[in-house]
Structure 1
Amino acid sequence: MVRTSRLAARLLASADTKQLETGLGKYRCKYGLQRQRQLAACTSMIFEHRSILSAALSRCRPIVVFLFLVCGSTYNPVFFKILPGFKPVRPVFEIYMNFITRVPKTTQSVAKDFGDICYDILRIRCSSNTSSLTIAEINQFLDKLSSTYTSSKKSENTEKLLQPLLMKLSGFEQKWLIRTILRDVKLTGISEKAVLSTYHPDAKELYDASNDLEKVCTTLINPLNRSSGIEISLFNPFRPMLADRLSESKILMKMSNKPFYVETKLDGERTQIHKRGNKYGFYTRRGFDYTSSYGADPSVGNITPRLHNCFRESVTSCILDGEMVAWNVNGSFIVSKGENIDVKSMSPTGGLVPCFVAFDILLLNDEVLSNLPYKERLKLLESAVKVRESVLHFPNRKLVSTKMEVADLLNEAIDQREEGIVLKNPDSVYKPNERKGGWVKVKPEYVGDMMDHLDVIILGGYHGQGRRRNMISMFLVGVAVPFLEGKQLEFYSFARVGSGYSDKQLMGLLEKLNPYWQKWDKNTLPPMIHFGKEKPDVWINPSMSAVLEIKASEIVSSNSYKTGMTLRFPRVQRIREDRAWDSCMTLSESVTDDIPAKKRIKLAGCTTVVAAPFQSADTSHVKSLFTCFSKKEICVLNGSDSLTKQELERKVVSGGGVVVQHPGHSTFCIIAVKDDMRVKSLRNRPKWDVVSPAWLLRCLNVDRLVPLRPQDLMVVTRGTEERMIQNYDRFGNSLREPTSVEDVASILQRVKDLENPAQLSIYEIANLEHEIFGQVHKYGIFRTCVVYVDLWETISDPNSQNISRELEIVSFDLRIYGAQVCNRMDPSVTHVLCDPVSYPKRAAVWKTMNHGREVKFKLVRLEWVEHSIKKGSLVDEMAYYP
């Protein structure tokens, strides 16, 4: 600090601007580049990294203060070098790896990134001496380099700038310069959050809300001063809120039977629109400004002239969040981003034009809306803009509360070849750069474990909608079934699939199939194809068809298809041009098979390699030592590490049983250890009992078939279930046989589970009332409300003085009409009821408290209760805000 003060004093005394810059440059070099090199030398020591980082930023902070006060500059020598990938103060370099050097095809060392590769090559060719260049001179070079971006001869100019500079630098210095140009310095163990938090506790929050590193340096110079509130502002691009990726079980847990909005996930470019009067700004999620392309005012750009009239006259300023997509004018549909389309460079009069899909509003008429619940922001969004085809749209949106509705909407999105869906909590507030704030994206590849690939044959087709209304865009696929000697091969319908292929692949496939499509007519159906309830628009002779390789999450039962089952979330992986039409998957290769084993066929050319845990055992040398399973047909689905599938099959044979790989009509039972996907599929259609190996071992021990117990069963058929009811109580305790010691623990656990049932949530009760009465029940108006009534002088202290007798009376009304009234404030509270007329200062206290809460509550006057009861449903809380 003493050295810093002396240097600052010397510089202040100097009237020579060049000398000032040179002095600062040397200081930057000494305390900026030195720390940067130290960071590079400690790649395996994360804590030491952060210690060095903190010291570097602390040493540079006095210089930043001096620059800000004297020169008006906000430059931080370490900050901008460590985070070169953040929104730049200078234009982008647009220099890629091949502009810097050509990397040899082989190298003897293994490098972590491009900078390391260059260093491995350059260290034996360049001087090892440290250059005399200061960071000030390096920055001047970077400014010149960025100016070549707009030049028509940028490649030639870039080479002229790079060559003399690289000749002056050592190999080690070139590595860090290259990383800076490519905007990725590769500091092990130091994330952007760690860097920002080291500089100032509020730095990350401010950067997320502004996307401006320069503003972070300017605003948060003093690490001891904390910001009282950081908000989104006009023409300062923020980092948008993100959607989390969760597994299916976690999605259901997050929903908890509460309503969620489901929106179609668009394949566009995340864009925010800032508007004040006739001035517009367009920014990407990384904060890059593309206003010059889209239009700064209604007279220029490829979308602003058309977009301007979509705002209602009452809107003076606003910020919209959404996706910029390409709109096909002739077909009236959104074009996928995967088709290599640059929306920014489109002509406003071409066949493809930019179109903005708005799904959120963060500011309206200078009022920041980010702390409002999503459902309220949606109302304001719809009141602020008007939908206009090819210019501004809203995403498809639906309010759901069950797993089945989510699955149906995802299937629908897949059928329409959309990217997926997004679930949004109606009560979620907008948090910049937050991925766990209440938004969840669901794609087919996020849902469960995907099955192995299935080769199926196209049996029919369906006409598309919208842009594909005049062509076949979805297919009915099937599998081969066994045939009797002398008869032709037959096929059963299995599933519908309409996603996974590009438009180019679809057109190529249709070019082959179109000559052979035949219109559906029940009187002229081909004898070799068997359809279920699901009928296609057109069908095709299998010998003229094609084989598709499909991936799906699981097989589920369905009476719409001839196989009696179908696929969940199917997607085409590829078109199998290498496979003949008669080499598709057979029905006997599926889990639930309706065809007797003796009729199964195995087609020539169809070789299947089965993973070791699922291979059948060689039982040719196993002797039958017992008779408990005499001539009983048993299928073993899976095993465990201690008792493998092959060992279980050998035990079945040793007990006199017959092992089959696929269950049929004569199968006695199925043995399984793991509750995997195949067991779950069988549970949807319980044709066989699925039994644990413990039952099999008990039978072998006594050499007879012992009765099944509830704890032995993973899947129960109707007949077995009826026997269980006659022989066992609801806890699994036998009514006829003595209870063994080993069964006591499992029975007691069932007793514990059943005697302590989970309480119904308020949302489950509300759903139950809606199912019974078909509407909101009279005495369930406030069923989903958790209300704190502001009765006591000290919040959450019932022992303090009662300040409102009238509120106490209203609290009884709330309970009568279904509300859950709390004595203490906690995160579950959804409403706070206050009396601002009698106690006007109290409302201000609640507003301040609500501002600091992560989950906001709704502050209302007591009239809200009275008017809701009169109306018979909840009235809008905004009208009763004190």
Structure 2
Amino acid sequence: MSEPQNHGKSPLFSHLVVSLFEPLTKNLTHLSAITQKKPQVLKGQIIERFINQWRKTVGDDIYPAFRLVMPDKDKERDMYGLKEKNLGRIILKTLSISPVSPEAQAIKNWKQNSKATAGDFSNICYDIIQKREVITSFGDMTIEDVNNLLNQLSTESVFDKQLEVFQELYNRMNAEELRWIIRIVLRYVHLGATEKTIFNYWHPDAVALFNVTSSLKRVCYELFDSNYRLPNSQQEVSLMSCFVPQLASYQKKSYDDIIKLMPREFYIEEKFDGERIQLHMSGYGSHFKFWSRKAKDYTYLYGSSYNDTKGSLTKYLKDAFNSKVSNIILDGEMVAWDTDDQVIVPFGSLKASANEKTNTGKEKPMYCVFDILFLNNVSLVRYSLQERRKALNIVLKSLPGFIQIVPVKMATGKQDITQSLQKVIQDASEGIIVKDPRARYIVSQRSDSWIKVKPEYTKEFGENLDVCVIGGYYGSGRRGQKLASFLCGLRSEDDQKFPQRFWSFCRVGGGFTSQEYAHIQHITHGKWHKWDPLSPPLKYMELAGQFNDKERPDLWIKPENSVILEIKAAQVRPSDSYRAGLTLRFPRFRKLRDDRSWETALSFREFIKLRQETDAQRAEKQLSFEQHRRKNISTRNKLQIIGAEDSFTTDDKVIDVVNCALFNNFTFYIMSDVQKPRVSKGHLERLIKAHGGQITQFYNECILFTIISDKITFRLNAILPQNPSLIVFKPSWVFDCIENNTIVKIEPGHLLHATIEMREKAAKNVDKYGLSIYQMSKMLETKAALINLPRIKNPINMVEKEIIQQKIIDKLNCSHSAGFIFAGLELYFDRYQIGSKVHSEEELQQYRTNYELWILSCKARFAGAKELTSIEDSAVTHIITPDDPSRIKELRFLISSEAVEAYIS
């Protein structure tokens, strides 16, 4: 890995503070209102400007800056071993402040401080340092100087040596700079912009490379050229670099759905109740690395080599690997193994069993391997699972109690899934994994090639949900003065300003044992805050209600200090009491997820995707039921009596001909209900999904989908200024496509908002009266067109004009033309038979109606239809009548009595 070169000097650390840190953490709401740009857009411009300025004035090596901007992603620098307590001691000593002074008490009790800075250690220190600054202006320390001192600090564990580093920082920096140094040492800079956002402005492939390496240094060194594209081979896993593993599908699947996604033969593996661990080995066992799913290094627990006597596992693995294996990467689950009973024990025992110093019992860690990703300098992620399993069985041998290859069962159908699931239930295991043997390994993604099946899946909504505790409620009686239930939230992952913000989702109080209550209380002790309705913690959570007051907890907790609960529930229901707009019915605690953090808790977007899968399955079942029901109905032509105002009017309307693949290539974003006729947003979504379309609940300008709205909503008003070329369709386009059983051409009436070019294109699909050229016009549309037609002052000579018009049609003799859309139809126009004199307004209205029907009949005959003079004629295919309920009732009776097979339109 070659290091890019800089042509300029290292900038001052103050430049980083002024040009990046401070602008990103300021409230950009006011500037957003002035510039009409969203805060995240403004932050992007700040990041982009800093990167461009660095390239221009400094060079291509931005790693010195990025390791200060994202200190938690910098794996090259050792941990400082300093938390708030020890760091506070160093600061007090540096400033020569007495340990019993008010300032020392403020630092010691930084979480309970009554000031606005409470809970922010760096701001409390800033207030104290500012009164004792050695220099008031920005100092002369460069970014390079700061990195050198931080490297020194990370290698020192002696208090006096650490004090020397901070003394130099204090002598050469002002309070503002020191505030950011404290945040960097604590590895919590929190700029209001995620690393993904910063990476994307650095290079298009930066996120992909970081996912497979977890190396900030490699991202900076290998992708300094923005025109360079990372080869596919380098977007794979590499030895001794932690990657984000593939995850099983986080969706509810029926057995039939699982079978559809799998080949004729597929794998079934047992899912263990342990911790996901990746093992890296090199130098024929001279070096080992163990990383968790969250990239936490557990090498100190399990061992760094065969000769590491302090580790609890590697010293037993020498005979497990083939002698020809020089390096390897394995993916598996670390579990706690009971050596006496020869069984896997619950997950909570794993860490204790791995600690050689404290564990004197019968439980030991055992590594259950289910995949191999790298072998002797060759990446295997592009090979199929079947081929990877063959390689795994050749190079690795199971050693009972230490390392085990997870056995697979070859399956062919639902019966195999049922039997496997029943077996793991009997063995008190967590579930099974169904895998596609043809599939390659997909780094950092959930994939349907791996599908989890747990016992709860078959009876409950979705799989168990991992939610974050954001609040607590006091109980009564024996639970008085104790937290008896917890408010849980869904992560709002699209909130760039407050990435830790959660939306209230449900309240959980059932399923806990007294030991579990005590354990949660122990973990969160001293981290709870009293709820202040005048100052709700909007940075961390958002409740429902205009004043953020629905389901208000007694206490609240920051997500970073909280716990993740795995819960299950009977079903999901709408609720205006929770910010998510949904909540769980009968939620119940299942277990505490010590292996998860707030960053990996269930997000609102993930939950909506999970719910969409459930709704789609329900719609599919309903559709199957309707199709089965229709098969039992007589196939004779059904008489439909539809008034002139006919349209898609109710949620219960059923389309006779269903094309389940109609919208296969479309993803829809529905923004509102249909106002007239009234159709709910939910029903419209179900209708689209029943015809093969996909639904999304999130607008993303980078993704192409069809936007449907019946009106200009508040959300649409917010989107349009940034996307003037956006095309928004009315629901009528969806209805027309379904009624015609095809994707119809776009007409002006289908468009709520569109570009001039699109409107011009749509205008070519209607005639000069606004009626469709390609599809049947509805009576409502025809009436609207007739209103704008020029009126004939003397309608008495209608017969003469009708004859003239008929002669014109006969003379043209071109019924074969594609424009004759009514060819083959025989129509009866229901005109009133009245006298030649006009005696009343009612009779005059009848004349007008006759005139409108005459105009309509001319147009129909011109388009190829034949007009019949008797309603009793057996050849009648359609009856055209005004919108008169009483007349329609008469015609209905007449048709039923005469058994006339026709449509009234």
Q: TM-score range by the shorter chain?
A: 0.3 to 0.5
With structure 1 as the length reference, what TM-score do the two structures score? Answer: 0.46
Q: Tell me: higher relative CO, structure 1 or 2? Use CA pairs within 8 A at least 6 residues apart.
A: 2
